[in-house]
């Protein structure tokens, strides 16, 4: 674990970005950053992002979720992040938010339908909502939240690439990415998509985007023959 500071600095930066993008208020929400195959760092519990002390930021072992360095207690959502990093080796960052529109969908218990290409540029399906945690699972609440997210993806035959974020019912969102700023970017996209879907329903536009158009928009960015952006 060489040069830990750069990862902690990046973690602080991304947590601050959540606030700058109006995706978090007070001490809500958290971002974690993978350090390597064995460790990640995450926002300290109850600390305002700008006040994160680099020296005290917790370092977590992926294999068992134990804190191995850092004076501060990690976010209470750390076990959820740990389970996701453990199961998805390509993830470099994870973001958990209570952003307004996306959380409203989560609280409604509804997935977000594909109403247009803005959505299908990044999600190949509706933004799924996981199931509610069961009473018997509460003992390991945060860990089982991670397991439920994985279950949700498997049930719908989705991957972390085709579905970069999900809704947790009554709670909020979890997004992820394969580089250090992608998780926050996807959180921002998800909030925008959630807002668009909300207004689409309010004006009684309820026709789902045809599958062939949805597929085209995702594949032009991420498919084998993608042509969006610069080479």
What residue spans of the chain are helical by DSSP H?
4-20, 78-87, 100-108, 117-120, 141-155, 182-202, 211-222
Residue 188 burial (CB count, 10 A): 19
Catalytic positions, written as ranges: 121, 228
Query: Do the beta carbons of residue 141 and residue 133 sit within 8 Å?
Result: yes
Q: Which residues pair with 60 in a beta bridge?
A: 40, 67
3-state helix, strand, coil in the chain (%, to 5): 45, 15, 40
CA distance 51 to 231: 39
Sorted by sequence, the CB contacts under 8 Å of residue 30 that are 6+ apart come out as 15, 42, 43, 75, 77, 81, 95, 96
Give the distance from CA 224 to its chain's centroid. 25
Residue 76 carries which DSSP code?
Answer: T
């Amino acid at each position: 674990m060489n040069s830990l500071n750069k990862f902690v600095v990046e973690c602080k930066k991304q947590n601050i970005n959540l606030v700058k993008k109006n995706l978090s208020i007070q001490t809500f929400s958290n971002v974690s950053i993978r350090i390597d195959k064995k460790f990640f760092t995450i926002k300290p519990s109850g600390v305002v992002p700008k006040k994160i002390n680099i020296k005290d930021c917790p370092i977590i072992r992926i294999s068992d979720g134990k804190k191995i360095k850092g004076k501060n207690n990690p976010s209470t959502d750390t076990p959820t992040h740990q389970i996701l990093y453990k199961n998805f080796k390509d993830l470099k960052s994870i973001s958990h938010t209570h952003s307004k529109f996306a959380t409203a969908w989560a609280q409604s218990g509804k997935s977000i339908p594909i109403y247009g290409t803005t959505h299908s540029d990044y999600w190949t399906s509706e933004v799924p909502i996981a199931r509610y945690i069961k009473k018997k699972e509460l003992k390991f609440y945060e860990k089982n939240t991670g397991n439920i997210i994985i279950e949700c993806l498997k049930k719908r035959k989705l991957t972390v690439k085709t579905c970069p974020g999900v809704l947790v019912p009554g709670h909020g969102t979890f997004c992820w990415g394969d580089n250090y700023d992608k998780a926050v970017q996807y959180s921002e996209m998800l909030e925008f998509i959630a807002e668009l879907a909300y207004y689409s329903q309010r004006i009684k536009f309820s026709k789902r985007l045809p599958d062939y158009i949805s597929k085209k928009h995702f594949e032009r960015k991420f498919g084998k023959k993608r042509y969006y952006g610069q080479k």
